[in-house]
Structure 1
Amino acid sequence: MESPKAKRITIADVSEASGMSKAAVSMILNNKPGTRLSAEATERVRAAAKKLGYRPNAAAQSLRSGKTRTLGFISDQVTVTRFASEMITGILRAAEERGHTVLIAETFGKPEQMAEAITQMTHRDVDGLILGFMDSRQRDLRIPKTGLPTVLVNGLDDSPCVAVLPNEMDSGAKAVQRVIESGAKSVAVIGELENAEKDPRTYPSISRRFGSLRRALAESNLEVLGHWVLDDWNPTDGYEATIRMLADGYNPDAIICANDRVAMGVFQALAENGLKPGTDLSVLSFDDEIIASYLRPQLTSIRLPYEGMGALAVELLLDGKLEPGEHQIDMPLIERESMKSR
């Protein structure tokens, strides 16, 4: 036998429980501006609605407003990285705070699937789109003309767009300042990326990171012992570069690594040479991947703010701040054990 369907709580129920008129309850629960209702009345209505378990009728609201209160999020790699999880968390939390839900799709790293995913989201009547990427690149998305407000997160497009990016233009300077604060007199940089050096426009965040780093180093009194350019950002390249550096007789007071995976290889090479980060020299990195807290000693790293970028994308969509241009999110320095004390 089927269970009886639960009775839907209505505005009339909230009105009776709170002692307020249905018109007043409607204005309060729908956040209508310009009401002259007291704070006490508003609190009483909201408390009654919460106690009764009132939920607005989304279908009715959609018919009245022409909005579904639903956003679409499309990513190139939703399921395979921690960064994607953080971006989704930021989007979901910000959307929930504004009474919106989020539909999620993934292109599995296949650029040709982006247009189809956008078309499918359009068919589901979302109010706006967020396109999120795990690596910050200049792209040629060729987004279908849907008329939907759209924000890119951690990426740029060849056409004018609204984009949310990490503030890499300050990240290098932040790293250099922390190295100076550690008391270092000399520094080595491991991990400039060869492809980014050849084509800086395609890698805007990487180019900005190292541009900021070079400028800050040039303005400092630090002795720069060298810049080691790598083919890729992985532990093996970081390890081999550090082995070469030490074999050539360079013994810096600090090493700035391109990212945490490079730093992992640097840690291994240092250990093989009897050197410990945080004790014999300082090591600092970028991105703050999960491995930063797993390394021993734990790695100081400048975080990519994926959660904050996702949240800001929602705010821009819902507040209608959609003039083409970039919106920068600060990259916080996460202090751990790999930096020496003065």
Structure 2
Amino acid sequence: MRKRVTLADVAARAGVSTASASMILNNRQGTRLSAKSAERVRAAAAELRYRPNHAARSLRLGSSRTVAFLSADVTTTRFASAMIQGLLREADERDHTVLIAETGTDPARTEQALLTMLDREPTAVILGFMEARKIHVPPVPSDVPVILVNGASDEGHPTVLPDDHSAGRRIAEALADAGHTDIAIVGYDPNRAPDWGETVTIGARFAGIDEVIAERRLRVAGYRAPRWEPDIGFDGMNELLDSGATFTGLICLNDRLAFGAYQAMQLRGIRIPDDVSVVSFDDDIIAAHLRPALTTALLPYEEMGRRAMEMALGDGVDAAHIVVPMPLRVRDSVRTLPAGRSRRSPGRPPAGPTG
């Protein structure tokens, strides 16, 4: 096995003392070393492929400069993995390393992974979730900050959450502003008692939608979905169409439901957005590739990861809880209705070609 290159090796190659090499590679200010000496040291470090000894550095600085990230399905889900990109970029800018463990949703695995991570004496611990939910966080030393991304804890740890309330309003307003007064919702039925389950954000999304429904006096038909997946969107859309419900606008609670709803309508010859305008949430990659491309509210995983790292490293962030905006991605799935358009069921398109 190749011997690890040390700082002394770099210094010997450059012809300077070990202390001088350390000052140059750590960008210490106020040294009297010449520019040529600094250039020789950096060239030697590159030639020898020198890597700092972080364990020794941690002892010297009194900090591991390491952040532990425990993932609940974030690492295994392409859509949510942007959270990790945000964490890593922010950590890199602050010269920190991120240790990542995937625990899924198993509390026992989460606790074991946390204990293992704490053995490395991290600067902070971040827990991230694909599906926003509340969990119990095992005990952590009081001097180690714990931040939750897209989740919350029974213990009241600081959180970074998407602004689902504003997004719910914005999505409903996108239809109302386009003249749609009769809408359908796949994934939620405001005419029945809400069932928010263990989620810590979806209730806020529903509340935002409900406010616009009340303010704009929209007429609504809803389908409560057991899962937010394409097959459920397909079945839910067919059920709404078979019920004879009248609507010209459709809200899907996520893009996967919208994908299924698109298929159901297109198989029946219902045109989007000519017959039904569609809006959704998440901005999954499929949203831009649907035809027509889907108007949807971005779930800002990357920005949430970045803000969590800021909080973890104490970068002047005093807030205990942060909500991150969910920008509206306006595409081609919403049509502005002409004034006075008559109501009709989208399941009964007018006679003649529908292509």
Q: TM-score range by the shorter chain?
A: 0.7 to 0.9
Q: Which residue of 1 aligns with 2:247?
A: 252
Asked if the contact 1:74–1:117 (Cα under 8 Å) also holds between the matched residues in 2, the reply is yes
User: Is residue 162–residue 323 contact of structure 1 (8 Å, CA) maintained in 2?
Assistant: no
Asked if 1:64 is matched to 2:60, the reply is yes
Change (3 A) 1:2 1:310: closer
Q: Is the Cα–Cα contact under 8 Å of residues 151 and 161 in structure 1 kept in the other structure?
A: yes
> Which residue does the alignment assign to 1:153?
149
TM-score by length of 2: 0.79
The equivalent of 2:102 in structure 1 is 106
Counterpart in the other structure of 1:211: 207
> Displacement, 1:59?
4.0
When structure 1 is superposed on structure 2, of 237-246 and 260-269 the one drifting more is 237-246
> Is 1:29–2:13 an aligned residue pair?
no
Kindly state the Cα deviation for residue 182 of structure 1 after the two structures are TM-superposed: 3.1
Distance 1:251 1:120, change over 3 A: same
- Aligned mates of 2:120, 2:289 — CA distance in 1: 42
2:274 aligned with 1:271? no
Identify the structure with the greater helix proportion.
1
Are positions 1:173 and 2:173 aligned together?
no
The Cα of 1:78 is off from its aligned counterpart by 4.0
Are residues 117 and 279 of structure 1, via their aligned partners in 2, closer, same or farther at CA, if it must alter by over 3 Å? same
Q: Contact 1:259–1:285 at 8 Å: present in 2 too?
A: yes
Kept in 2: contact 1:25–1:45 (CA 8 A)? no
For residues 3-42 of structure 1, the aligned pairs below 5 Å read 9=10, 29=27
Determine if the alignment matches structure 1 residue 331 to structure 2 residue 326. yes
Taking a change above 3 Å as real, the CA distance of residues 312 and 44 of structure 1, as seen in their structure-2 partners, is: farther
- The answer to whether the Cα contact below 8 Å between 1:193 and 1:231 also exists between their aligned partners in 2 is no
Question: 2:36 & 2:134 partners in 1: Cα distance?
Answer: 51
| Pick aligned residue for 2:81 from 79, 85, 108 | 85
Query: How far 1:234 sits from its partner (Å)?
Result: 2.1
How high is the sequence identity, in percent, across the aligned residues? Answer: 35
Deviation at 1:13, TM superposition (A): 6.0
Deviation at 1:97, TM superposition (A): 1.0
- Count of matched residue pairs: 327
SS at match of 1:133: strand
1:96 aligned onto 2:92: yes
Write the distance in 2 (CA, Å) between the matches of 1:120 and 1:202.
27
Taking the aligned partners of 1:97 and 1:60, their CA distance within structure 2 comes to 21
- CA distance 1:218–1:69, change in 2 (3 Å): same
Against the structure 1 CA distance between its residues 142 and 150, is the aligned structure 2 distance closer, same or farther, given a 3 Å change threshold?
A: closer
Report SS of the residue matched to 1:151: strand
**Maintained 8 Å contact 1:193/1:232:** no
CA offset digits 1:282-340 (Å, max 9, x no partner): 10111122222332222221111111111111110112668783211111112222122
Superposed displacement of residue 24, structure 1? 12
Cα deviation, residue 174, structure 1: 0.9
The separation in 1 between residues aligned to 2:5 and 2:310, in whole angstroms, is 37
Determine if contact 1:300/1:334 at 8 Å carries over to the other structure. Answer: yes
Determine if contact 2:75/2:84 at 8 Å carries over to the other structure.
Answer: no
Alignment of 1:223-302 (within 5 A): 223-302=218-297
What SS does structure 2 have at the residue aligned with 1:277?
Answer: coil
Over the residues paired in the alignment, what is the CA RMSD in angstroms? 3.6
- Mapped contact 2:310–2:317 kept (Cα < 8 A): no
Contact residue 89 and residue 307 of structure 1 kept, 8 A: yes
Relative to structure 2, which stretch is displaced further, 62-71 or 90-99?
62-71
2:137 matches 1:122: no
Contact 2:300 2:326 in 1 (8 A): yes
* Residues 49/168 of structure 1: CA separation in 2 closer, same or farther (3 Å cut): farther
TM-score calculated relative to the size of structure 1 = 0.82
Q: Secondary structure at the match of 2:326?
A: coil
Q: Note the C-alpha offset of 1:136.
A: 0.5
User: What are structure 2's unaligned runs of at least 5 residues?
Assistant: 338-355
Q: Find the residue that maps to 1:103 and give its secondary structure.
A: strand
The one-letter code of the counterpart of 1:205 is T
Q: 1:200 to 1:243 in 2, by over 3 A?
A: closer
Higher-Rg structure is: 2
In structure 2, C-alpha distance between the alignment counterparts of 1:66 and 1:110, rounded to whole Å:
33
Opposite residue 27 of structure 2, the aligned amino acid is L
Matched with 2:305 is 310
Question: 1:192 and 2:152 equivalent?
Answer: no
C-alpha offsets along residues 22-75 of structure 1, whole Å, 9 cap, x if unaligned?
A: 699669825x7xx8x9xxx9x999988876658665344322321111111111
Give the secondary-structure state (helix, strand or coil) at the position aligned to 2:247.
coil
